[in-house]
Amino acid sequence: MDIEIFILWASALIFISVLTSKLSDRFSLPALLLFLLVGILAGSEGLGGIYFDDPGLAKTIGVFALIFIIYYGGLDTPWKSVKPLLAPGLILATFGVLITAVTVGLFAVLILKFSLLEGLLLGSIVSSTDAAAVFSVLRSRRISLKGSLKSLLELESGSNDPMAVFLTIGVIGLLAGQNASGVQLLPLFVLNMGVGLLAGYLMARLGIFMINRVKLEYDGLYQVLIAALILLTYSVANFSRGNGFLAVYVLGLMMSRSAFIHKRQSVRFYEGVAWLMQIAMFLTLGLLVFPSQIKPIIGPGLLISAMLIFLGRPISVFLCLLPFRFQFKEKVLISWVGLRGAVPVILATFPLLAGVAQAHTIFNIVFFVVLTSVLVQGTSIPVVSKRLGLDIPFDRKKRYPLELDETEGIEASLNDLIVPYNSAAVGQPIASIDLPPQALIVLISRAEHFIIPTGSTVIEAGDVLLVLGKDSDFSQVQATLSKLREPEEKSS
């Protein structure tokens, strides 16, 4: 294709995709589904008539996009809320994925007359839930899930892709006869994950150190440096036989926990990059699909989808969460939020390129499974969570202007304290109290009303102060206000 024409098509399709995201809010369809539809419509069997049949290029775009999407998934993980859920989250992300892959695989052997390995390949490909799909549904659809469920689902979906990639590549290896037996996969798994983890960790330490030391002349170059760091992390892990996707996820996670120059811009920037990558990827995949080829597999596709949604996923969730204290209905909901997305479709291009016998059938089935999963589960999560009584009605989530979300770039939080009755500060204007300069009293709650303080506001006993500042500064404020009044002034 001529470059001028290519640019026209690419820009027009991306433009349309961005606009369709508005529809996703209105009609409560996950945005990624719409991107896919735009791709399909633009394809040779749709209105656009673009013929695209190059799984190699699709895979290249897919892997490249995935690196950035997974990095952003790590960067966007709210570490504080995720930390207490690390154990169940990681078990779901590893064993959970394995259990799903095996159950779906066995079922595929039964109904598609696949060989065991081909079945396992199909199972592995659809085994991971999709972070982008889960996030977009949980965030855009005005859904508030109770307690820690949301954090658990976000952690799981963000961190389970590496396992699916590992399984897929492993099974393709077995099919090609590279690995003699499945037993050899176990040490390979340990090596793959271990090296991935280590590479991500080391590259993050190194990268953050560099970013903070290098003192670049141009601010824009910092984001370029990070882009290089992300790709390099993937490569380093890959070439040392580790899992590149896991490494990139760990890198993102580490970056989100550390302070570095221009962090806030960086998070914004990579949010944009992640979106662009998602659109590019789904458009490509949409183009790669030929709806006419999907038709014949609708029957088995539906069976596999139903199997995944109603059996594979629930079995894996209930088994993995056995050691943890979750209610039955919570496990049902976690099972239901098992949306599949981009990763399976990208992984489905792997067997195409490896020349696996059933590759085309697998690709089309995977595509169909993703479609049904997003359509059925994605659109029904609000209803299901309501039925289970696990949603928080949206009107209860009314935002007060007094709230501060964990914000990148500000290490401060809002804390409150009650001014002790016999504090030396009582009766003093704020300006005359020796408070740490980095802490700010933003609001006073007194009797029935709120006061926005100024330097001349006089503190009263029993005032509740809302203080903005780091925890250490807050402690200092509290210590200052806890100084006792001189005994001779003490009134009874």
Partner 1 sequence: MIAEYLVKEAIIPDLRSGDKAGVVREMVEALSKAGSVRDVDGTTEWLLEREKLGSTGIGQNIAVPHAKREDVKKLLVTVGLSARGIDFDALDGDPVNIVFLVLAPSDATGLHLKVLARIARLLKDKVFRNSLRSCKSAQDVFSTIKEEDERAV
Nearest approach, Cβ of residue 256 and partner 1 (Å): 19
461 binds partner 1 (CB under 8 A): yes
Contact status: 403 vs partner 1 (CB under 8 A): yes
Residues 338-397 binding partner 1 (CB under 8 A) are 396-397
Residue 69's Cβ-count burial label (10 Å; 0-12, 13-18, 19+) is buried
Q: Quote the least distance from Cβ 37 to partner 1, whole Å.
A: 35
Smallest gap, in angstroms, from Cβ of residue 423 to partner 1? 7
* Residue 242 three-state SS: coil
Q: Is 479 in the site for partner 1 (CB under 8 A)?
A: yes
Give the one residue of 4, 217, 434, 448 binding partner 1; rule: CB under 8 A.
448
Task: Identify which of residues 34 and 155 has a Cβ nearer to partner 1 in the complex.
Answer: 155
Query: Nearer Cβ to partner 1, position 53 or 471?
Result: 471
Q: C-beta of 186: minimal distance to partner 1 in Å?
A: 35
CB of 466 to partner 1, least distance (A): 6
Minimal CA–CA distance to 351: which of 129, 107, 59? 59
- Give the span between the Cα atoms of 347 and 237, in whole angstroms: 19
Q: Which is nearer to partner 1, 300 or 420 (CB)?
A: 420
Helices (H), 176-312: 185-213, 220-239, 244-257, 263-288, 291-294, 298-307
Task: Tell me whether residue 316 or residue 385 sits nearer to partner 1 (CB atom).
Answer: 385
Nearer to partner 1, 115 or 148 (CB): 148
**Residue range at the interface with partner 1 (CB under 8 A); choices 107-115, 189-197, 263-271, 478-486:** 478-486
Closest C-alpha to 165, from 355, 347, 430: 347
Nearest CA among 23, 2, 131 for reference residue 72 = 131
Q: What residues have CB less than 8 Å from 24, skipping those under 6 apart?
A: 30, 31, 33, 34, 136, 140
Question: Binder to partner 1 among 419, 425, 439, 441 (CB under 8 A)?
Answer: 419
* Matching residue, tokens 């662009």: 276
Rounded Cα distance between 480 and 485, Å, is 11
Nearer to partner 1 by C-beta: 51 or 421?
Answer: 421
The contact mask relative to partner 1 for 283-312 (x = CB under 8 A, - = no) is: ------------------------------
Contacts of 132 (CB under 8 A, 6+ apart): 32, 69, 73, 274, 278, 341, 342
Q: How far is the CB of 424 from partner 1 (least distance, A)?
A: 10
Q: Which of 286, 415, 459, 468 is in the footprint of partner 1 by CB under 8 A?
A: 415
Q: Smaller CB distance to partner 1: residue 322 or 402?
A: 402
Cβ closer to partner 1: 141 or 470? 470
**Who contacts 421 (Cβ-Cβ below 8 Å, separation ≥6)?**
461, 462
* Long-range Cβ contact pairs of 409-414 (< 8 A, separation 24 or more): 409/263, 409/264, 411/259, 411/470, 412/468, 412/469, 412/470, 413/468, 413/469, 413/470, 413/471, 414/442, 414/466, 414/467, 414/468
Q: Which of 420, 429, 438, 457 binds partner 1 (CB under 8 A)?
A: 420
Q: Which of 257, 329, 331, 483 binds partner 1 (CB under 8 A)?
A: 483
Helix H or strand E segment including 368: helix 359-372
Footprint on residues 59-118 left by partner 1 (CB under 8 A):
81, 84
Per CB under 8 A, the list member of 28, 238, 446, 457 interacting with partner 1 is 446
With a CB cutoff of 8 Å and minimum separation 6, the contacts of 8 are none
Choose the stretch contacting partner 1; rule: CB under 8 A; options: 16-24, 232-240, 254-262, 417-425: 417-425
x/- map, 34-63, partner 1, by CB under 8 A? ------------------------------
Judged by CB, which is closer to partner 1: 329, or 360?
Answer: 329
> Interface with partner 1 includes 482 (CB under 8 A)?
yes
Using the contact rule CB under 8 A, the part of the chain among 118-126, 165-173, 217-225, 476-484 near partner 1 is 476-484
- Does 436 bind partner 1 (CB under 8 A)? Our answer is no
Per DSSP, the three-state class of 452 is coil
Residue 427 is a binding residue for partner 1 (CB under 8 A): no
Q: How far is the CB of 151 from partner 1 (least distance, A)?
A: 9
Site for partner 1 in 145-174 (CB under 8 A): 146-148
3-state secondary structure of 91: helix
Which residue in the set 20, 184, 235, 445 belongs to the binding site for partner 1 (CB under 8 A)?
A: 445
Q: Do the Cβ atoms of 346 and 285 come closer than 8 Å?
A: yes
User: For the chain, how many helices (H) and strands (E)?
Assistant: 22, 4
Cα separation of 260 and 282, whole Å? 32
Number of residues engaging partner 1 in binding (CB under 8 A): 42
Whole-angstrom Cα distance, residue 361 to residue 338?
Answer: 23
Q: Classify strands 464-469 and 440-446 as parallel, antiparallel or unpaired.
A: antiparallel
SS3 468: strand
Binding residues for partner 1, per CB under 8 A? Answer: 81, 84, 146-148, 396-400, 402-403, 414-423, 443, 445-448, 450, 461-464, 466, 471, 474-475, 478-479, 482-484, 492
